[in-house]
Structure 1
Amino acid sequence: MIPACPSAEWAFWPEREDLSAEFMRLLAAAQDGGATIAECLLVARQTRRGDELSWHREWISVAETSRNRADAALAAGHMATARRNWLRAVNYYNAAVLPLDPADERRRASIAAMQECARSFLKFSDPAGEVVTLPWLNGHSLQGYFLPAPSTRGPAPTVICIGEPGHRKEEFLFKLAPHARERGLSMLAVDLLGARDDDFLEQIVRRPDINASISHVVDYLCSRADVDGDRIAVLADGWGSSFVARAVVREPRIAAAVCDGGLWDLHERAFMANRIMLRDATIVPVPEVPPIARNIDCPVLVTVGEDGWLKTDRVRKMVQQSRNHRLDVTLKVFTAEETGAAQGHADNPTLANEYIFDWLASRLAPLAAVPA
């Protein structure tokens, strides 16, 4: 059994880095209403090491408990409690599928239950959110959750929140939506999977036009009367590639972007160049300014943790050189002393998202902030 009181240097599944990282994400999500610490520790105590199905069963159990609690609260007219429990159920269902194969029927059933909870949360939010369909490819549409800004007079500034290909949008409902709402911003949470199963992911990532997906999202937002087409931003949550940065280059209607600014693209180029240079010393080194960054016209925010995968000294150097090329780029490095220093700010996403949404609010100049 997993110990109930781990030390500061613990890992709940030392032989499974992915499950340990997921558990840390769940604990961090408690700050924003995506979990409760007590429920996380309960699952940890009951999950058996070496038994992946045990992980699945325990998270499904707590997810269904939260879902039933939400449904009971709805029936009794307690809307705030219902919304909170639907959000926690969303996160627990999402955690439950991690060790399962994409073709596993239990995975599909868990994802369907997660999406039903997300829809319930949207339906009974105030103002109510929407499930929206956005045309993209022949035979495949994008799907998003649109959460309108509260108490706005006229079209509102809007943030597109998207993760890496394969990441699902449901997490943004508790992780990012409150930050947008408190600052008078509408939010569209979107992913590339649409209504398809995870086994469709490989076909998506192989497409040469994957970066064009953001333009289709902007097309949809510009068609809405409640969205200010001149104040649309995009946020790449937990970026691990230059996917969104490449999309921003193609889309002049983006007013501000939170992404890697092309740093991962340069990192990959440098890695390959170093391997080649070991065999051929005449190879010219990779430039220190990300090629993508030279072609981004809108203001960009890059946030990194000093314990993340990219070396912060090199990031600072590349950002400074990007500024020399007149790119409007802001860099925020989160240190271990303040937390938020892990890759993707996984140890304290709340702190990072407060900074990110304050920056977005200042760039988009929302009409009015809404009290928490």
Structure 2
Amino acid sequence: MARQNWGATWAGTGDAYRRLADLNINRKEYDGATEAWLCALTAFEVARRLVADDDPRRADVSAKVEDGLQRIGLCFGHEVESLQIACGDLGAFLAYYLPAGTPNSRTPAVICVSNEEETGVTLLGRLLPVLIGRGMSVLVLSHEHIANHARGGSQIVLSYCLDHLSARPDVDSSRIGIYGDGLSASLATDFAVYDRRIAAAVCDGGIWNWTRSRKSIDWMTSTDDGAERNMEWGRRSLLARLPKCPILVVAGGRGVVSVSEAIKLQSACMAERIEVDLVLPQLIRGGLCEEFDNFVSSDDRTFRWLEQKLAREPIAERVVG
């Protein structure tokens, strides 16, 4: 019950910021309206995580996020575009494109794929507060539109998305990255291996597929899961399937990679001179001994890393802690 009450409180906070944004728009105070809308989107995301899946308020909060994404464009001058991405025989699907807002220059871009429990518009609502001012465009997709294909289909669909971005006059085709949230982190790894045009990847480093393969082999051969020879085989197999671009693994929290697995991967990659960085979780302790992932901090560190790796000129190295 306490969790539901906190969800209602955060939803009410989002509503208050939304009213403030409308008031600032009426006054033509667009900077203040933008700030208020960004605060509203963050509050709605917190509320959405706190209420139960079957709670009607969850759908109501999601609808407010979608409305906010359309209206916030009035504040900072470039609106979210709804696009139909055609993928040949695989059909077409809806995506959301947020331009960087610098029409006279070609900027980096990131393909962002939501986790398995969320839609693309929900992910964009969560990310928008950390995207403003970074000078990069994003194309946001739903996990279900990418993952629900036969083997290899997800890579083909994502290649069409990459083709779309590469053809846009406001995007630098040599500086396109990919970010996969939740199980989509595995799709991001596979795609970065498949399509070498990707310049940076926020992914699972192949751990999800490697773990499933290792467990299947152990089960079929009745071997000890902790046997050193299996670990050595697995480590070599995993490293061989890594992307050739810089990668960032978001470990812990709601992701699919545990902190211990991520640290072992980074250690093995260092020995092979493979560039792998980590974002480790910052957990917030709530009531009843519950812990919540500080998604604001994690998203900020993730997109700082992407901003650095996709910069035209190398910028000062910053710790992704």
Q: TM-score, normalised by structure 1?
A: 0.64
Letter in 1 for 2:312: P
Following the alignment from structure 1 to structure 2, what is the Cα–Cα distance between the partners of residues 366 and 354? 20
Aligned to 1:196: none
Contact persistence 1:134–1:217 (CA under 8 A): yes
Question: Is 2:52 aligned against 1:99?
Answer: yes
Residue 110 to residue 146, structure 1, CA distance change in 2 (3 Å): same
Superposition RMSD in Å? 4.1
Letter in 2 for 1:304: A
Letter in 2 for 1:356: T
Contact persistence 2:13–2:43 (CA under 8 A): yes
**SS of equivalent to 1:154:** coil
**SS of equivalent to 1:235:** strand
Aligned to 1:227: 171
Question: Is 2:123 aligned against 1:143?
Answer: no
Letter in 2 for 1:167: E
**SS of equivalent to 1:288:** helix
Question: Is 2:299 aligned against 1:356?
Answer: no
2:142 to 186, 192, 207: 192
Q: TM-score, normalised by structure 2?
A: 0.73
**SS of equivalent to 2:191:** helix
Aligned to 1:78: 29
Unaligned runs of 5+ in 1: 3-12, 14-18, 20-42, 45-54, 194-200
- CA drift at 1:58: 6.0
Aligned to 1:365: 311
Following the alignment from structure 2 to structure 1, what is the Cα–Cα distance between the partners of residues 68 and 254? 34
- CA drift at 1:225: 0.5
Question: Is 2:106 aligned against 1:161?
Answer: no
Following the alignment from structure 1 to structure 2, what is the Cα–Cα distance between the partners of residues 58 and 313? 35
Letter in 2 for 1:72: L
Deviates more, 1:73-82 or 1:225-234: 73-82
Aligned to 2:245: 298
Residue 303 to residue 293, structure 1, CA distance change in 2 (3 Å): farther
**SS of equivalent to 1:134:** strand
**SS of equivalent to 1:230:** strand
Contact persistence 2:185–2:204 (CA under 8 A): yes
- CA drift at 1:204: 6.2
Q: Deviations over 1:121-156 (max 9, x none)?
A: 123224555343322475541311313154x75211
- CA drift at 1:68: 3.2
Q: Deviations over 1:72-122 (max 9, x none)?
A: 321222223322333344455554495345xx9876565343212111112
Q: What pairs up with 1:221-370 in 2 under 5 angstroms?
A: 221-237=165-181, 241-278=185-222, 285=230, 287-291=234-238, 294=241, 296-305=243-252, 310=257, 312-322=259-269, 328-332=274-278, 334=280, 340=282, 347-366=293-312
Aligned to 1:30: none
Contact persistence 2:107–2:172 (CA under 8 A): yes
Aligned to 1:16: none
Following the alignment from structure 2 to structure 1, what is the Cα–Cα distance between the partners of residues 212 and 94? 28
Contact persistence 1:221–1:227 (CA under 8 A): yes
Residue 210 to residue 165, structure 1, CA distance change in 2 (3 Å): farther
Unaligned runs of 5+ in 2: 285-290, 316-321
**SS of equivalent to 1:132:** strand
Letter in 1 for 2:251: V
Count of residue pairs the alignment pairs up: 300
Letter in 2 for 1:192: S
Question: Is 2:2 aligned against 1:69?
Answer: no
1:125 to 76, 91, 103: 76
**SS of equivalent to 1:254:** coil
Residue 230 to residue 62, structure 1, CA distance change in 2 (3 Å): same
Contact persistence 1:302–1:329 (CA under 8 A): no
Residue 91 to residue 171, structure 1, CA distance change in 2 (3 Å): farther
Aligned to 1:207: 149
Residue 115 to residue 100, structure 1, CA distance change in 2 (3 Å): same
Contact persistence 2:204–2:256 (CA under 8 A): no
Letter in 1 for 2:96: G
Following the alignment from structure 1 to structure 2, what is the Cα–Cα distance between the partners of residues 261 and 303? 10
- CA drift at 1:291: 4.2
1:113 to 43, 64, 80: 64
- CA drift at 1:215: 1.5
Following the alignment from structure 2 to structure 1, what is the Cα–Cα distance between the partners of residues 58 and 159? 31
